[in-house]
Structure 1
Amino acid sequence: MATFLYRLGRFAFRRRRAVALVWVVLLALVGFGAASASSPGPSQFSIPGVEAQKAFDLLDQRNPSASADGASARVVFKAPEGQKITDPANKAEVTRTISAIEHGSKEVASAANPFENNAAVSKNGEIAYSTVSYKVSSMELEDASKDSLEHAAEQAQDKGLTVEIGGDALQAEAETGSTEVVGIVVAAVVLVITFGAIVAAGLPLLTALIGVGVGVGSITALAATLHLDSTTSILAMMIGLAVGIDYALFIVSRYRAERAEGKQPEEAAGRATGTAGSAVVFAGLTVIIALCGLAVVNIPMLTKMGVAAAGTVAVAVIVALSLIPALLGFAGDKVLGREARKAAKAVRDQGPEAQARAVAEAHRGDDGEHKVNGGTRWARFVLRRPVRVLLLGVIGLGVIAVPATQLELGLPDDGSQPTSTTQRRAYDLLSDGFGPGFNGPLMTVYDGKGVSDPQAEAAHVVAEIKKLPDVAAVLPAAFNPAGDTATITVVPDSKPSSHETETLVHSIRDVGKDVKASDSGEVLVTGQTAMNIDVSQKMNDALLPYLVLVVGLAFLLLMLVFRSILVPLKAALGFLLSVVAALGSVVAVYQWGWLGSLFGVEQTGPIMSMMPIFMVGVVFGLAMDYEVFLVTRMREAHVHGESPAQAIETGFRHGARVVTAAAVIMIAVFAGFIGSSEQMVKMIGFSLAIAVLFDAFVVRMMIVPAVLALLGRRAWWLPKWLDRILPNVDVEGEKLHKALGDGSSPGEGPQDPDAERELTRV
């Protein structure tokens, strides 16, 4: 692989105009496709294999009106202090408002008058609500319809009523906020500090933006066809931007290192692509495996998110391998540090070989050796006290992980919205007026097809449910026109996210089992609350198989990369430490509210069901990135004859500064998404930022060198029989170095003419 990528890097360097033109044209075509694509329709949220989805599908088949997917709004009215909503003036204003809503848009299917149904007025007479149904989904609802709804509510407020609107009719697309831009600015500053050259800092940013433009543009162009929502593109942008910057950063950094060794520009570009590029390929593969592996959960929306993000990562890898060498050809010596640029400029008239030697001299000390940097000093510090460093890292992450034992999963509803939103205020008013369980009714579906007397059997089910604890109300069974399927609405006495409500769902399902056992029909429970419970359970059940699949496949990949068993095992265990510590931090902030104000948490509650498993997939891929980039350089040094301790120093001398910069950039990019209005994006942004912090600076910088120091040569042990079976992918470039004749003098390429022809063949 290293040899192929070496040829690719030199080809892209030589044919830089053609390569750059291809990417510009591709970006333009994708941009045109995204701009001309139709807006996506409603996203289809389905959870195959769970009871709540089975009940919903049954209703969709037998009684479509009961499972209509049109938008809805709950307009909640509260009388002024000391008055009743049923007072003549207030009643007239509510009736006028409902009429204005019903006739204000052609998309309104119905708007219920609360005074025609006593159940829609609270017992104390202060609060009433109207359910407004629309003919189209919330994604298809026109702005004029939303404006009409809000305008009618404002007019009622002007008359002294409190009016809030819940439901999904006013649902807005996710926004990332201005902090995303701050993350990119921080990334730019870190790159400038790392490279000491504006051009070198700009290359990773430019290529990452091009990669994200192609990846996210493709997602936007296909959104309507594949039913992708806005969250999918935001997550793909987040991950694509972070890995795009990092992959380019590693190749540019290796290019500068090759120039510091005295290589001429084209040769340095080829070597950088052949060595660092190989690490980029395998690092990218681990991320792609982790994201595509989300398909094992069998939740279509999660699968689409994973595949879309994986596609963006694949684009980032291809950009790094092809566009970066091309842009390095355009940049010339401008990507070098100040001293190296001055040295090259001083001998410009003496030819490229003299310039290459001058650049190499600028990177060496007075004794002719490479200057000792912070990475070398840190490696020596760890090598002197590996046990203490190892214990400090493991115990520290273990303590941070403790809150993860209290992890509670759920899906968001209006109760998780900030108190500044009208949806949250409507939720609170309904809870005050009708009880905490009113916002999470359970839709019980009775399937009486083939039953001799379904009416009587449904009445029996209603009676049994009324006997259960924590039941506030049970509405009579409402049958479909065929008379074989009924819906029974059950209002819990507790709030939707409570353990009591979860217990009630299971109790109703137990009633259903008894009914089914008597061959009298089938009882199923659905609705948003039941769906939340089922999704959480499905996620818990899928987490272990997902971990086994992803870690197993990545373990095999890393075995190919490092030709070792213990190094991949150490990498996997370190990843688990990072994940549980990150989950502990998420629970502490978003579930318990610790430092919540610092991270914009206005409402604590259960962690989104899909967040942990999505975070696990992404973090695993990113953790393996740092493992590959840092340890590959150690493996490369070890293969070339250095002792284990020397190899650790070499790896940190070349990789510590770059990995540190890459981690800071990733943290900045991910943290930029904490300002998103979408709860899923906000939590993932925080969890990925904190996970990268733990993985890069604790696991990879502390635990990895400490463990390798303790293992010594045993770290690189591989049974001979396994060594013969495994294909040699040559990630560290051993074959490449031999073919290049690395005994050559500075500035020279391959010494063997046949090797030269083979390596430059494209």
Structure 2
Amino acid sequence: MAQLLYRIGRFAARRAWLVLSGWILVLALAGGAFLAFGGTLAQSFSIPGTETERVNDRLADALPDLTGATASVVFSAEDGSLDAGQEARIAEVMDEVAEVEGVAGVVDPFATETQRTEQAAQLDAGRAQLDAGREQLDAAQAQLDAGQAQLDAAIAQAQAAGVAEQAAAQFAAQQAQLDAGRAEIAQNRATLDEQSAALSDGAALLDAAAEIRTVSADGGTAIGTIMFDDDMFTLAPEVKSEVAALLDDAGIPGVTLDYSSTITSTVEGLIGPGEIVGVLIAALVLLLMMRALLPAVTPLISSVIGVGVGVAGSLAFSDVVDMASVTPVLGVMLGLAVGIDYSLFILNRHRKQVLAGMDLQESIGLANGTAGNAVVFAGSTVIVALVALLVTGIPFLGVMGIVGAACVLIAVLVSITVTPALLGLMKVRVLRRGLRDRIGHPDHAPAEIHPMRTGRTLGAAALAIIALLVIAIPALSMRLGLPDGSSEATDTTQYQAYKTVTEQFGPGQNGPILVVAEMPQPVSEDERVRTQVDVVEQLMAQDGVVAVAPAAVSEDGAVFAFQVLPEDGPSSAGTEALVHELRALSPLNGEIELGVAGQASGNIDVSEKLADALPIYLVVVVGLSLIIMVVVFRSLLVPVIATAGYVLSLFAALGAVTAIYQWGWLADVFGVHDPGPVLSFAPIIIMGVLFGLAMDYQLFLVSGMREAYVHGMSARRSVVAGLRNGRAVVTAAAIIMAAVFGGFVFSHLGMVRPLGFGLAIGVLFDAFVVRMVIVPALMHLFGDKAWWLPRWLDRIIPDVDVEGAALERAHPVPHSEPVLGSGVR
């Protein structure tokens, strides 16, 4: 591999414009493919095999109208309540939205409230009619009773007078009339009883749904609903854009209009001010390190090309692959961070060699074959960690892993081709002007290396371990969930819609639960209302339920759907408990199978599935770590130290994420206005990415220790030698990576912020605490034992020349000792 990279580096340096033109063409093709074939990005997440998915599949068969995506539109009066003119204009806007192709229908909030009022009035009128009917029947009954009394008296008189037989026919006719009257009254009373029962059922349903409102009690806020033909993953961006444009242009005087994230889930906000600041910080670090403009911008140019190709190319497949809106953001984060770092490693090695007097073309090839070889290996560990997300069996997470891995792969390819090309164009300007006069001069003798002081070193390590363990404590109470509107930026329409609904209608209105009841046999039309009342009453009896309303009944009467309004918001612990309680009710009455679906239910299922996948993925990552480190460092103890350090930095990062985003610590600093559960897939993404980066830093630091050790230096002195020779470039790389990741902490996309923070703080913990304090201390403590490997294992492990030592021996650098580690002297 080193020889191949050497040749690639020399070719790229000689044919720089050809290489750069080729990548620009690839970038243009990727961008064109995205524009031509790119599809929609979903804000929601689904996992096959969950209870919510099972219920959704049943709904797709029985009640397909309930399976499409829905969006809420919130109309708020700027002063007072909505007047008649504003209501009419709102109705017109909703009608215009209904005409958009792809919109299945809309719900006019005022028409709904009018219908509710009319239903209440009809119930009142029906009760009045029933009362009047009962009064009439009671009066008729009284007349019959009086007639019966008169008839009985007449019969008695006739019997006393001895003429009963002669009047028997007349008495029988009169008795028959009275009996017929009684029968008619009984029938009418039965009819009234049936009507009364129906009215009672209707009243019960209306009362149970009383808190599911579309207009607030003060008349100042109204919620309109838009139903789409397609679900969240297949809803075309053109449909969302057209709907959003109509709503944005509504311009209703005196009315503020906001809408939910269903309409706003696009790639807007992929790169915002925070991300740009992160890149600027990275540029500043490069400038301070290089002290020259051209070499400082080289890693930035490489990373931008890599990100453009990787992200645009990935988005080109979004029309055929279900892709979440956060997926390309992960690609941007990784592409920028590793693209800058990998290019920096090659650039730094080349600068050292040129300063030592090596021929420019030769130096570029050697830097690409040595540091570039390490870059390929480092990138491979990140790629393997991301592709390993497929073992979780969670489709959207697997897609995220593949996209992230593709972006890292592109970053590696760009680093080993574009970087040499740019170096070939720069020639000696790769060094600042003050250093060019010193090219070829023998370096000063390196300072004598002394082992670290054992007591001070172990004390610092112990303090570092204790600090990371303390920081990790909040992770013990970490609760996973998917974001709702409250996690969005405060100036976004989806946040404003969420908060307005919470204030005016209650938090549960933002995440109603859909309960599906499957009957043991179809229910006739006459019995459906009674069946609904029976189910509604049992649902209302559950703690945390505010309201229940029938949503739909299948044509055959076998499937009933109900909308349940929880007391708390969709991401709350109360709603999570309620979903489990509702599922525990099944079978209702011993025969009715209950299923729970809806946004809140789906988010809970996804979060629980992800939580279950965490231990499996951690075992896979730890196993990979141990295998990779054993092969690279030919040691048993070094991989254990490296892996334990990774686990420590991982849990410290998760603890910090929990403290800030769930507990609300330092909320103002990080813009956490509404603390809630930790993004459900953040831990597993942080786990995978941090693993790859931790192995990078382990490689660039500890490989220098091993190189010094195998060249005869004592174990403890080799620790200092490796640390001294690798810490400068690792420090710069870690700061750059943390800056890039940290820029996403203030992203406009709510889901991205905890990811950016977790990766940034994880990189800082791992690079500066684990790799530069704990690992050297433990390596110092164990001494020669750190490099022990059984002979039988040594024979079967392949010899992986990660640093290209053989290539370096064939192309020695003038005035240099053997290069240690990552190519940094």
With the shorter chain as reference, the TM-score category is 0.7 to 0.9
Q: Which of residues 73, 94, 104 in structure 2 aligns to 1:101?
A: 94
Aligned counterparts of 1:23 and 1:422: Cα–Cα separation in 2: 39
Q: Secondary structure at 1:443's aligned position in 2?
A: strand
Moved more, 305-314 or 10-19: 10-19
Partner letter of residue 375 of structure 2?
V
Alignment of 1:26 with 2:10, yes or no, is no
Residue by residue over 1:256-302, the C-alpha shift from the partner in whole angstroms, topping out at 9 and shown as x without a partner, is 33345543333333332232222212211111111112222333222
Matches within 5 A, 1:112-261: 112=108, 113=111, 114-118=113-117, 119=210, 120=213, 124-126=217-219, 129-135=222-228, 137=235, 139-141=237-239, 143-152=241-250, 154-157=252-255, 164-166=258-260, 168-171=262-265, 173-175=267-269, 176-261=271-356
Any residues of structure 2 matched to 1:489-504 within 5 Å, and which? 489-504=563-578
The Cα shift of 1:46 comes to: 1.9
**d(CA) in 1 for partners of 2:747, 2:716:** 45
- Whether the 8 Å contact between 1:138 and 1:168 is mirrored in structure 2 is no
Aligned positions, number: 709
Are the equivalent residues in 2 in contact too, given 1:636–1:732 (CA < 8 A)? no
Structure 2 unmatched ranges of 5 or more: 118-209, 230-234, 819-825
- Equivalence for 1:335: 430
Q: Given that residues 100 and 152 in structure 1 are in contact (C-alpha distance below 8 angstroms), is that contact kept between their aligned partners in structure 2? A: yes
* 1:734 Cα offset (Å): 4.2
Assess if the C-alpha contact under 8 Å between 2:370 and 2:803 holds in 1. Answer: yes
Cα 1:747–1:436, aligned 2, differ >3 Å: closer, same or farther?
Answer: closer
1:65 maps to which residue? 65
Tell me, in whole angstroms, the C-alpha distance in 2 between the residues paired with 1:629 and 1:178.
32
1:125–1:561 Cα change, 3 Å: same
Residues 444-489 of structure 1: CA deviation (Å, up to 9, x unaligned) = 1123375688957766544432332222222236312232222122
For residues 22 and 104 of structure 1, the distance between their equivalents in structure 2, rounded to whole angstroms, comes to: 46
Paired residue type of 1:206: I
1:555 to 626, 630, 637: 626
Query: Quick check: 1:127–1:429 contact (8 Å CA) kept in 2?
Result: no
**Contact 2:461/2:773 (<8 A) preserved:** yes
Residues 138 and 169 in structure 1, CA contact (< 8 A), matched pair in contact too? no
When the two structures are superposed, what TM-score results if normalisation uses the length of structure 2? 0.80
Q: Structure 1 444/17 Cα, relative in aligned 2: closer, same or farther at 3 Å?
A: same
Cα pair distance change 1:76/1:328, threshold 3 Å: closer
Is the CA contact 2:355–2:436 (under 8 Å) kept in the aligned structure 1? no
In 2, Cα distance between equivalents of 1:197 and 1:503: 59
- Distance in 2 (CA, whole Å) between partners of 1:268 and 1:6 is 9
Structure 1 distance, partners of 2:625, 2:512, is 43
1:711 aligned to which of 749, 771, 782: 782
Aligned to 2:655: 584
Indicate how the Cα distance of structure 1 residues 382 and 332 shifts in structure 2: closer, same or farther if over 3 A, else same.
farther
Contact kept in structure 1, 2:30 and 2:312, CA below 8 Å? yes
Aligned AA (2:226): S
Distance 1:171 1:733 in 2: 46
Q: Which residue is 1:609 aligned to?
A: 680
Structure with larger Rg: 2
How many angstroms does 1:156 deviate by? Answer: 4.7
Which of 726, 732, 739 does residue 797 from structure 2 map onto? 726
SS of structure 2 residue aligned to 1:542:
helix
Task: Report the TM-score when normalising by structure 1.
Answer: 0.86
CA offset digits 1:245-266 (Å, max 9, x no partner)? 1011111112233345543333
How far has the Cα of 1:616 moved from its partner?
1.4
Query: 1:592 deviation in Å?
Result: 2.4
**Shift of residue 747, structure 1, vs aligned partner:** 9.5
Asked if the contact 1:418–1:603 (Cα under 8 Å) also holds between the matched residues in 2, the reply is: no
CA distance in 2, matches of 1:424, 1:322: 44
Looking at structure 2, the residues matched to 128 and 18 of structure 1 have their Cα atoms a distance apart, in angstroms, of 62
Cα separation, 2, equivalents of 1:101 and 1:123: 18
Deviations 1:290-349 (A, max 9, x none): 1112222333222212111110101111222233233323322221354541134xxxxx
SS at match of 1:48: coil
Q: How far does residue 236 in structure 1 lie from its aligned partner after superposition?
A: 0.5
Alignment of 1:442-457 (within 5 A): 442-448=513-519, 455=528
SS at match of 1:222: coil
Distance 1:223 1:371, change over 3 A: farther
**1:755 alignment partner in structure 2:** none
The letter for the 2-side match of 1:219 is: S
Partner amino acid for 1:2? A
Tell me the secondary structure at the aligned position of residue 476 of structure 1. strand
2:742 is matched with which residue: 628, 647, 671? Answer: 671
Distance 1:10 1:719, change over 3 A: farther
Say whether the 8 Å CA contact 1:216–1:312 is kept in structure 2.
Answer: yes
CA contact (8 A) 2:382 2:408 kept: yes
Q: CA RMSD in A?
A: 3.0
Q: How does 1:641-656 map to 2 (within 5 A)?
A: 641-656=712-727
Q: Percent identity?
A: 41
Once the 2 structures are TM-superposed, how far is the Cα of residue 98 of structure 1 from its aligned partner?
A: 1.6
CA shift for structure 1 position 527: 0.9
Corresponding position: 1:294 with 2:392: no
Q: Is the 8 A contact 2:588 2:594 kept in 1?
A: no
User: Which deviates the most, 716-725 or 269-278?
Assistant: 269-278
**Cα distance in structure 2, aligned partners of 1:498 and 1:436:** 10
Deviation of residue 190 (structure 1)? 1.2
Kept in 1: contact 2:41–2:267 (CA 8 A): no
Between stretches 104-113 and 568-577, larger displacement belongs to: 104-113
In 2, are the aligned partners of 1:138 and 1:171 still within 8 Å (CA)? no
Deviations 1:664-716 (A, max 9, x none): 11111112222211111122112111111111111111111111111111111
CA distance in 2, matches of 1:685, 1:47: 24
Shift of 1:566: 1.4
Cα 1:729–1:457 shift into 2, 3 Å: farther
Partner residue of 2:670 out of 592, 599, 609: 599
Query: Is contact 2:40–2:266 with CA below 8 Å preserved after alignment?
Result: no
> What residue number does 1:661 align with?
732
Structure 1 gap segments, 5+ residues each: 345-357, 750-762
